[in-house]
């Protein structure tokens, strides 16, 4: 009996494989969203402060942490990825697990060192402590949180939800920052963070449903594994339906606070696409449209910069 052929990898070059496992587009989106937040809601006259050292170093910290988190996730998920996405699995095939682990240590270590520099510059220990906590949560995501019911989904949602606040970390550490957070700009920031966290949670549940087979075989206790496909689909139907309430409320708030009209469609239309794909039960398309909805929020912020 002939052996089944090993699926061809999406990359045969180690250098390109190292780049791919960082999820470069996702990392760039993080940097772009922080720049858009700073430009639209914080910097005077909606012009980004290119000389603001604290902001640019925080953006680098978040991008490095995200890249390191993606790398360590692939390091721990070798067995699951071999089942769920055999053509995209690179660790253990194109690049060794040992080199992958070193790469993670390098990226995360750079983020921690930069946070220490920032703490020294700001005369506050919180940037360093905050960075170490995030690095620890990202390290424990695959071997611990993701394997236990809902814990991984909540951790990733919270990590995404806290990202916008790094764009205003100077204002957070300023004792006189309360006027910003009570203004329309500050309220917008908090709404953006909350909606990003909620939509990320829905996307994580969607991905769990997509990876249910591999997760079940390797002992993961995700929501999709415990509840089964049919019950998880019903949860996604209900949660996506309810998500329209805060999304529409946000569009009205944006129209009133910033006197904008059609630009709110940049996140309403992608979410409508998400709902259509949900009704058609197309998992991969649902995840893609969820990401487009998140990106629509960035487009809205960029429009405020103009």
Which value, in Å, is the radius of gyration of the alpha carbons in the chain?
20
Pick 169 or 59 by higher pLDDT.
59
**Cα(38)–Cα(48) distance, rounded to whole angstroms?**
6
- pLDDT tens across 70-92, in order? 999 888 878 777 777 777 778 87
CB-CB contact of 130 with 115 (8 Å):
yes
The CA distance from 171 to 174, in Å, is 5
Residue 245 has a pLDDT of 96
Would you say the C-alpha torsion 68, 135, 27, 173 has a positive or negative sign?
A: negative
Mean pLDDT of 147-170: 89
Give the span between the Cα atoms of 232 and 219, in whole angstroms.
Answer: 18
For 295-305, how does the pLDDT look when each residue is reduced to its tens digit (9 = 90+)? 999 999 888 87
Share of the chain above pLDDT 90, in %: 51
- Residue 30 structure tokens: 């993080």
Q: Is the pLDDT of residue 51 over 60?
A: no
Dihedrals phi, psi of 47, to nearest 5 degrees:
-115, 120
Residue spans per domain, the chain: 14-305
Please tell me the predicted confidence (pLDDT) of residue 1: 39
Share of the chain above pLDDT 70, in %: 91
Does the pLDDT at position 186 exceed 50? yes
């Amino acid at each position: 009996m002939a052996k089944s052929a090993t699926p061809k990898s999406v990359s045969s070059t180690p250098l390109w494989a190292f780049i791919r496992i960082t999820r470069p587009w996702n990392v760039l989106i993080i940097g772009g969203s922080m720049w858009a937040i700073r430009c639209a809601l914080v910097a005077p006259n909606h012009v980004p402060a290119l000389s603001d050292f604290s902001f640019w170093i925080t953006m680098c910290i978040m991008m490095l942490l995200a890249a390191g988190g993606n790398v360590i996730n692939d390091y721990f998920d070798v067995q699951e990825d071999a089942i769920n996405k055999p053509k995209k699995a690179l660790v253990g095939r194109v690049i060794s697990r040992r080199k992958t682990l070193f790469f993670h240590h390098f990226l995360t270590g750079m983020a921690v060192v930069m946070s220490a520099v920032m703490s020294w510059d700001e005369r506050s220990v919180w940037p360093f402590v905050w960075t170490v906590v995030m690095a620890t949560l990202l390290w424990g995501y695959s071997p611990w949180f993701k394997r236990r019911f809902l814990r991984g989904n909540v951790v990733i949602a919270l990590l995404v939800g806290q990202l916008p606040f790094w764009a205003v970390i100077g204002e957070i550490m300023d004792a006189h920052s309360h006027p910003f957070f009570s203004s329309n700009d500050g309220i917008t920031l908090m709404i953006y963070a909350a909606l990003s966290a909620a939509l990320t949670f829905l996307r994580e549940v969607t991905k769990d449903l997509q990876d249910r087979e591999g997760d079940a075989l390797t002992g993961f206790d995700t929501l999709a594994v415990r509840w089964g496909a049919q019950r998880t689909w019903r949860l996604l139907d209900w949660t996506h339906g309810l998500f329209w309430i805060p999304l529409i409320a946000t569009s009205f708030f944006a129209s009133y606070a910033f006197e904008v009209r059609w630009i709110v469609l940049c996140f309403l239309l992608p979410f409508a696409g998400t709902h259509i794909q949900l009704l058609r039960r197309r998992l991969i398309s649902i995840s893609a449209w969820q990401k487009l909805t998140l990106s629509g929020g960035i487009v809205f912020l960029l429009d405020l910069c103009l």
